[in-house]
Copies of this chain bind each other. A is one copy, B any other.
């Protein structure tokens, strides 16, 4: 799939077919995350792949909006050093977002939908996944083949994203159009 098509058509998917991910699809997703750029190339991440249905059902309880994890084909828990740790820079979370978007797009290009889940109950998540005290899981990505074709083809919701004119400034905060006298 073409990059611009993927970026334009990408939609969050929360309902999935009851079918496991093909091994080569899972590998492509993980590899896209692994390859992501990171600050000073630190790659402060581990990815825990969860496919066991009982474990996914437990993970669905880590937050009020995480219920969809119970029905996914695979969750990938994104583990980093604790971003709230002493002197931990914002780049831990920024880098993780970049890696997650790589995974999301690699999946989408293979017909696989995804949606993130935010962890609220960190003790529960830690007990399920077993990462050590110096590690943290703020997000999981949930992957699967979409239950409904429409979830791939539906057009973007009108008003779903702010238009460029509300998001972009030129040269300085508040300047909504390129300056006419720009050199």
Contacts and interface: CB of A to CB of B under 8 A. Distances in A.
- Which of A48, A53, A100, A178 has its CB near the most chain B CB atoms (within 10 A)? A48
Contacts of A174: 130
Contacts of A35: 7-8, 10, 156, 161
B53 A183 contact: yes
This protein's copies in its complex = 2
A97 B98 CA distance: 5
A10 to B, nearest CB: 7
A109 B167 contact: no
Contacts of A147: none
Contact of A168 (B46, B91, B129, B171): B46
Given A12-B37, A47-B168, A173 B94 contact: no
Interface of A: 1-4, 6-8, 10, 12, 27-28, 30-37, 39, 41, 43, 45-53, 55, 79, 83, 90-91, 93-98, 100-102, 104-106, 108-109, 116, 118, 129-132, 135, 138-139, 156, 160-164, 167-174, 178, 182-183
